[in-house]
Chains A and B, each alone.
Chain A
Amino acid sequence: MPKPFNKLTAIAAPIMRSNIDTDVIIRIERLVGNSVRGSLGKWAFGSLRYLPDGSENPDFILNREPYRGAEILVTGPNFGCGSSREGAVWSLQEMGIRAVIGSGFGDIFFANCFQNGILPVVVDKEIVDSLAADIEATQGAGRLSIDLEAQTIVSPSGKQHIFEIDPRRREGLLQGLDEVALTLQRDDEIRSFQAADRAARPWIHFARPSA
């Protein structure tokens, strides 16, 4: 069950390159196996964070103070495009990220964020750029605040921006709701749908395996 998300005031790091894909966020070989969770934080952004010899790349923002302690990423367009690997979200979470702000995200990455209690905020590109400029003006020391209940972001210089979010998604994050448990409460509806659908579209519904 995801942890609830309400308010967050934290260091934010701008990673403004467009099309940062899920392979860049976490390489596939880190995700091969049934017990990878807990080991992913240090591999997030591996190709940007480490040099070919394995040492830290000092030019990458998350290797610099104070950004090393960032809990918010301000991202370029189409962040999280590519694969459905939820490991991309897990790896960000394991390195301490709790919210991402951008002008648009990969659709599946976006959905995966909510499943893990990470808040993805979509705002106009002008606002993203202004947030990044504000953060850089404080050399990262200024904190960025997000209030999910009020749907506001306050930049380090005090500029307030309103953001839109699907009310259902917002409620889910605020309460840390477990979607599986919620849907299972509707199991009678699912079963009656299936019974009616079996009559209407018999080619969809195969015989159940004998117990």
Chain B
Amino acid sequence: MEKTGRTMLAKIWDRHVIARLSEDTDLLHIDRHLLHDLGGSRGLLNLKSKGLKVHNPELTFATPDHAISTAHGRAGTSKIGQELLAALRVETSASGIRMFDVDQPGQGIVHVIGPELGLSLPGATIVCGDSHTCTHGGLGALAFGIGSSELTHVLATQALIQRRPKTMRVKFGGRLPLGVTAKDMILALIGHIGAAGGTGYAVEYAGSAIRALPIEGRLTVCNLSIELGAKMGMVAPDEKTFEFLRGRPYAPEGAMWEQAVAAWRELPSDADAVFDREVLIDVEKIIPQVTWGISPEHVIGVDGCIPDPGNVDDPARRAAIETALDYMGLKAGALIAGTPVDWVFIGSCTNSRLSDLRAAAEIARGRKVAAGVKAWVVPGSETIKREAVAEGLDKVFTEAGFEWREPGCSMCLAANGETVAPGQRSVSTSNRNFVGRQGPLARTHLASPASAAAAAIAGAIADVRTMGR
């Protein structure tokens, strides 16, 4: 048999096989397990009820993000949110798990702090009871979300039974036009191949536009892999990756750093590696994206028109568009730009990193949030919050009329009472425009941080390219 090259997925996967359980299913070692307040204490209590102990507490890390309030002083955290936080403290401490608590550097959205602390590393297997764990793939890790049962399995064994996924490579070619961001790249891809386009695949993002992205942008691209249907997304590590990680608290140092980098250089897919599916995207044709419906695949360029179900022949697709427009309160065929908004949310594991806040602040600087619009900025971590304050970004936002808040998941999933009111319209930098995602009957439009800031200023969905500096 002719030997063909190996994909990055195969290289990382094979390195972690403890036992081959069947032709395509393996027991994999898990290098990093991240816990959060919504499922962390439940998993640890579940383990205890089975009479089991955490297999490797030193490879397990915890932080509260989902259920805590992002108001100052964490005022308004629900009673149950406080109980979950208290339980996370007690159970992590009892098991010897490091927890990054509120107001400490290290606390933040779990997918923001992993890379920030250097816990997330190229070639590592990373899991968390949260579907956006694919974010960490931006550093060249094999990272994916798991449910409560698999979470307990990892706590008990530091391993997981997984079926090898199919492989897809998405090459983003060309140079990104001005005003177009990583968020727009991945939204455009989801629009192109659909919200189930990646189901069953591990996706590797490649091409000149991915190479040109800073690490934070790659994390954003990988973050929305799950919205593409893929539970794993990854970008090959390169010099930018190594520079990003060097000196971070949990990254290796000295001779071990050199040894690690040498191993990481071997990870990228071989030139002759064969993927089960290949997709090509020309980024020069991408314009700022905004969603109009109730699935991330319901996305168009900001200069586009809302789809008209009358122009669609397929009855299922027509019905889906009608359902979406009815929920969103939008008129078929109308321009999406100019749609008035009530809320703007800048935050989430998708877009709450320092570069996201800088991009939004650049649009907000010296301008005012439109009358009647409530706009929030929720930094992704305590460290990002402090860095942003040191740069004066908080002032830029508050002077423009945005509310500057404490780090957490906040309005992305509305698990903490931070919701958009029924019927109100939000432009959000988060990842899901599902029915009721930001609160019952809330209407969500996904967009980049710069586009969200532009909507806050304009009071309506707006083309950020007309508001550049």
Task: Report which A residues bind B (CB closer than 8 A).
Answer: 16-19, 21, 23-24, 27-29, 31-34, 47, 52, 76-78, 81-87, 89, 104-108, 111-112, 115-116, 166-168, 179-180, 183-184, 186-187, 189-190, 193-194, 197, 201-209
Q: Are A107 and B124 in contact (CB under 8 A)?
A: no
What are 13 A-to-B residue pairs whose CB atoms are below 8 Å? A21-B432, A28-B414, A31-B415, A32-B38, A32-B80, A33-B83, A78-B195, A105-B199, A107-B165, A186-B19, A190-B27, A194-B29, A203-B260
Residues of chain A within 8 A of B200, CB atoms compared = 104, 107
Let me know if B56 is at the binding interface, CB within 8 A.
yes
Let me know if B67 is at the binding interface, CB within 8 A.
yes
Q: Which residue of B lies closest to A83 (CB)?
A: B131
Task: Report which B residues bind A (CB closer than 8 A).
Answer: 18-19, 21-22, 24-25, 27, 29, 31, 38, 41-42, 45, 50, 52, 55-59, 67, 78, 80-81, 83-84, 87, 96, 121, 123-124, 129-131, 133, 144-150, 152-153, 156-159, 161, 163, 165, 195-196, 199-200, 226, 229-231, 250-252, 256-257, 259-260, 263, 294-295, 297, 316, 319-320, 323, 413-415, 422, 432, 434-437, 440-441
Q: Are B96 and A29 in contact (CB under 8 A)?
A: no
Q: Are A179 and B161 in contact (CB under 8 A)?
A: yes
Q: Are A190 and B84 in contact (CB under 8 A)?
A: no
Q: Are B316 and A18 in contact (CB under 8 A)?
A: yes
CB-contact partner of A23 in B157, B159, B435, under 8 A: B435
Given A19-B295, A115-B147, A204-B124, A184 contacting B157 (CB threshold 8 A): yes
Q: Are A184 and B156 in contact (CB under 8 A)?
A: yes
Q: Are B29 and A190 in contact (CB under 8 A)?
A: yes
Residues of chain A within 8 A of B256, CB atoms compared = 202-203
Q: Which residue of A lies closest to B252 (CB)?
A: A203
Residues of chain B within 8 A of A21, CB atoms compared = 295, 432, 434-435
Q: Which residue of B lies closest to A87 (CB)?
A: B148
Min CB distance, A122 to chain B, in Å? 10
Residues of chain A within 8 A of B38, CB atoms compared = 31-32
Q: Which residue of B lies closest to A167 (CB)?
A: B22
Min CB distance, A167 to chain B, in Å? 7
CB-contact partner of B199 in A31, A89, A107, under 8 A: A107
Q: Are B316 and A16 in contact (CB under 8 A)?
A: yes
Min CB distance, B225 to chain A, in Å? 10
Q: Are A17 and B320 in contact (CB under 8 A)?
A: yes
Q: Are A186 and B18 in contact (CB under 8 A)?
A: yes
Q: Are B432 and A208 in contact (CB under 8 A)?
A: no
Q: Are A33 and B80 in contact (CB under 8 A)?
A: yes
Q: How far is the CA of A29 from the CA of B78 in the complex (A)?
A: 11
Q: How far is the CA of A45 from the CA of B320 in the complex (A)?
A: 17
Q: Are B84 and A33 in contact (CB under 8 A)?
A: yes
Q: Are B153 and A86 in contact (CB under 8 A)?
A: no
Residues of chain B within 8 A of A186, CB atoms compared = 18-19, 27, 159
Min CB distance, A127 to chain B, in Å? 16
Q: How far is the CA of A193 from the CA of B415 in the complex (A)?
A: 39
Q: Which residue of B lies closest to A35 (CB)?
A: B42
Q: How far is the CA of A116 from the CA of B150 in the complex (A)?
A: 11
Given A111-B147, A209-B58, 10 more pairs with CB closer than 8 A:
A23-B435, A32-B84, A52-B422, A81-B196, A106-B199, A108-B147, A180-B157, A184-B52, A190-B158, A202-B256
Q: Are B297 and A108 in contact (CB under 8 A)?
A: no
Q: How far is the CA of A77 from the CA of B196 in the complex (A)?
A: 8
Q: Which residue of B lies closest to A116 (CB)?
A: B149
Q: Are A183 and B27 in contact (CB under 8 A)?
A: yes
Q: Are A208 and B57 in contact (CB under 8 A)?
A: yes
Q: How far is the CA of A206 from the CA of B124 in the complex (A)?
A: 13
Min CB distance, B260 to chain A, in Å? 5
Residues of chain A within 8 A of B57, CB atoms compared = 208-209
Residues of chain A within 8 A of B163, CB atoms compared = 166
CB-contact partner of A201 in B148, B195, B263, B316, under 8 A: B263
Residues of chain A within 8 A of B260, CB atoms compared = 201, 203
Min CB distance, B31 to chain A, in Å? 5
Q: Are A23 and B297 in contact (CB under 8 A)?
A: no
Q: How far is the CA of A180 from the CA of B96 in the complex (A)?
A: 21
Q: Are B145 and A108 in contact (CB under 8 A)?
A: yes
Q: How far is the CA of A27 from the CA of B417 in the complex (A)?
A: 13
Q: Are B52 and A180 in contact (CB under 8 A)?
A: yes
CB-contact partner of B432 in A82, A201, A202, A205, under 8 A: A82
Min CB distance, B253 to chain A, in Å? 9
